């Protein structure tokens, strides 16, 4: 592969996970490294996605934030910041600040800490990075991550989906001659994200990587912890939990701490090699201590009760149903990523679905898979900038349409490539006048059209304001639409001038708008 001339620099990937944040870098010479965000001895390179506000000028992030919360006021801590970014309006009152903090403000502070930590680790003042997001994030949510990182002085090259990034961490996947079809199964703390890619290597150094389809499910390790707590742990220890909450829950955080114990027990169980491991935890209360235990069988019973296997298979089926190019029998390689994929139950579902020859549930380096999204994002960044012989095409993971008379009218299909442009479509001048020459753009992850614009599955993306002085007394105009990877929506508006065979289609307005900002 031919490399471009470049100065020494680091191409950085950041996996801003719901539970943990991971980072990795690629140098211009093609060397990869994990970036250690956690300075605690014996801990991994990741750090919890948690922030603790000490006062107006100071805050702790990650493990330090958890330590501060143990010693201080838990009301000054914000956890699962990524989940908060998914909510349209979220804020929390922080005692130490004497005011509310929004999700974007908390994310900006965490990214500021990341910027300083990465800069010090790599001895590089300017931090350029590719950041990842779930497939089921809306363009508005994607823009919030982008805005928070930019405000923290991180130069954001792109925000790409997590499973698409993960594909670029698979060793030698682009080196094999011929065509491969790769399925990425990324089960993390907040979502299950799937991506289907075609990798074509012509044997002469030219490689084309095309994302064919993507699908997300808004359910992850955080939800699993809550289901285990409510369906198994709480009924089992009902009396003990009532005593703890009655005696100690003065600030409303006792139940949150009990769910954290469930999370810890779950991780201990699946770190064990015993078939039916049982792990215990001592809860040191104010009045007395309690011993809590959980078994692998109890967790698997919860999985059966919530029918999580059926939901995952449905998600996989919908991934393949969304593309007419590939069936599951044509998949040559499957790979699992994410912290929740450490649980064998979920890897076995994938193995059953595609076959042992495509994915061996027991032959997985889960430590590497855990950091794989950040590492893949860094590798993607490197390839986009340093390799002339690699062609990369990723896709729009949702449908895009506009508001026409309070109905959602679809114009761009899910799984179209970024840069795809629609055909000419008519737009009535009367409708433009009614909306003061403003086009409202929406998205949805479901294949719906001509639905009420206030349908809960339809999400507002942004507005495009046209220059009404450019439009004549024609009854209608034509328009084309396309979106690029940066979230910019390109609208071209045309007018038919002349009659019959002498009619010419003339461009009258060309708009590029950053959607979601």
pLDDT of residue 217: 92
Q: Are 194 and 215 in contact (CB under 8 A)?
A: yes
The CB density around residue 446, as the number of other CB atoms within 10 Å, is: 12
pLDDT for residue 224: 97
Pick the CATH number of 399-514 from 2.60.40, 2.60.34, 2.30.30, 2.40.50: 2.60.34
pLDDT tens, position by position, 273-305 = 777 788 999 988 777 889 999 999 999 999 999
**Fold: same for 10-220+308-393 and 399-514:** no
Provide the pLDDT for residue 393: 81
Domain ranges within the chain, ordered by starting residue: 10-220+308-393, 221-305, 399-514
Find all residues with CB under 8 Å of 212, minimum gap 6, and list them.
196, 197, 198, 323, 325, 326, 395, 415
Q: 221-305: what fold? A: Actin; Chain A, domain 4 (3.90.640)
- Round to whole Å and give the CA distance between 263 and 271: 12
Backbone angles phi, psi at 100, to 5 degrees: -80, 145
pLDDT the model gives residue 184: 95
According to the model, what pLDDT value does residue 7 have? 47
Q: CA-to-CA distance for 302 and 251, rounded, in angstroms?
A: 29
Q: H helices of 249-399, where?
A: 254-271, 296-305, 308-321, 344-354, 366-386
Could you tell me how many helices (H) and strands (E) the chain has, helices first? 14, 27
- In SS3 terms, 419-460 reads as CCECCCEEEEHHHHHHCCCEEEEEEECCCCCCEECCCCCCEE
pLDDT at 249: 59
Residue 388 is predicted with a pLDDT of 65
Report the candidate in 150, 242, 236, 135 with the shortest Cα–Cα distance to residue 186. 135
Beta carbons of 452 and 406 less than 8 angstroms apart: yes
pLDDT at 248: 65
347-367 pLDDT, tens digit each? 999 999 999 999 998 887 777
Strand ranges of the sheet holding 399-404, from the earlier edge strand across to the other edge: 451-452, 407-412, 399-404, 438-444, 459-465
Sign of the C-alpha dihedral computed for residues 140, 141, 145 and 151 taken in this order:
positive
Show the low-confidence residues of the chain (pLDDT under 50).
1-8
The fold of the 10-220+308-393 domain, in CATH, is: Nucleotidyltransferase; domain 5 (3.30.420)
Q: What residue has token string 């990798």? A: 199
Locate the DSSP E strands across 467-503.
476-483, 488-497
CA distance 359 to 29: 32
* Nearest-angstrom CA–CA distance, 460 and 403: 10
pTM beyond 0.95: the answer is no
CA distances to 26, 49, 309 from 346, in Å: 30, 24, 8
365-393: pLDDT as tens digits:
777 778 899 999 999 999 888 776 778 88
Tokens linked to 474: 């024609």
């Amino acid at each position: 592969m031919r490399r471009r001339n470049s100065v020494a620099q680091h191409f950085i990937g950041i996996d801003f996970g719901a539970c943990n944040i991971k980072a990795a870098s690629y140098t211009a010479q093609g060397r990869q490294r994990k970036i250690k965000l956690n300075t605690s001895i014996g801990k991994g390179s990741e750090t919890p996605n948690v922030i603790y506000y000490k006062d107006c000028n100071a805050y702790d992030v990650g493990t330090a934030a958890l330590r501060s919360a143990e010693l201080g006021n838990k009301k000054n801590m914000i956890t699962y910041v990524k989940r908060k970014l998914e909510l349209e309006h979220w804020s929390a009152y922080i005692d130490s600040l004497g005011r509310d903090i929004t999700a974007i403000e908390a994310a900006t502070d965490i990214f500021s800490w990341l910027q300083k930590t990465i800069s010090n680790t790599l001895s590089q003042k300017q931090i350029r990075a590719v950041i990842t997001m779930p497939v089921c994030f809306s363009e508005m949510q994607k823009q919030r991550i982008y805005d928070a990182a930019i405000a923290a002085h991180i130069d954001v090259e792109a925000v790409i989906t997590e499973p698409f990034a993960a594909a670029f961490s698979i060793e030698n996947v682009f080196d094999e001659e011929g065509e491969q079809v790769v399925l990425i199964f990324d089960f993390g703390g907040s979502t299950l994200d799937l991506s289907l890619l075609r990798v074509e290597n012509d044997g002469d150094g030219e490689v084309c990587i095309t994302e064919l389809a993507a699908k997300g499910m808004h359910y992850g390790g955080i939800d699993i912890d809550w289901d285990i707590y409510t369906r198994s742990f709480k009924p089992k220890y009902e009396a003990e939990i009532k005593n703890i909450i009655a005696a100690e829950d003065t600030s409303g955080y006792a139940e949150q701490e009990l769910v954290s114990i469930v999370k810890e027990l779950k991780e201990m169980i699946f770190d064990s090699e015993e078939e039916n491991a049982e792990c215990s935890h001592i809860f040191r209360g104010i009045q007395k201590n309690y011993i809590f235990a959980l078994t692998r069988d109890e967790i698997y019973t919860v999985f059966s009760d919530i029918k999580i296997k059926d939901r995952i298979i449905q998600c996989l089926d919908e991934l393949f149903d969304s593309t007419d190019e590939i069936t599951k029998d044509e998949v040559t390689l499957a790979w699992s990523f994410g912290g929740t994929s450490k649980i064998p139950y979920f890897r076995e579902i994938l193995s059953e679905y595609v076959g042992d020859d495509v994915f061996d549930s027991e032959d997985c380096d889960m430590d590497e898979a855990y950091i794989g999204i950040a590492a893949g994002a860094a590798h993607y960044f490197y390839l986009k900038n340093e390799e002339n012989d690699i062609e990369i095409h990723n896709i729009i993971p949702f449908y895009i349409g506009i508001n026409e008379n309070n109905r959602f009218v679809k114009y761009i299909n899910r799984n179209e490539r970024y840069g795809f442009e629609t055909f000419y479509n008519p737009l009535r001048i009367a409708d433009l006048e009614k909306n003061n020459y403003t086009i409202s753009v929406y998205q949805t992850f479901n294949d719906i059209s001509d639905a009420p614009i206030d349908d809960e599955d339809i999400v507002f993306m942004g507005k495009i304001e046209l220059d009404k002085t450019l439009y004549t007394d024609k009854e209608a105009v034509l328009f084309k639409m396309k979106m690029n990877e940066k979230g910019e929506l390109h609208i071209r508006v045309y007018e038919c001038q002349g009659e019959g065979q002498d009619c010419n289609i003339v461009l009258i307005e060309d708009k590029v708008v950053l959607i979601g900002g």
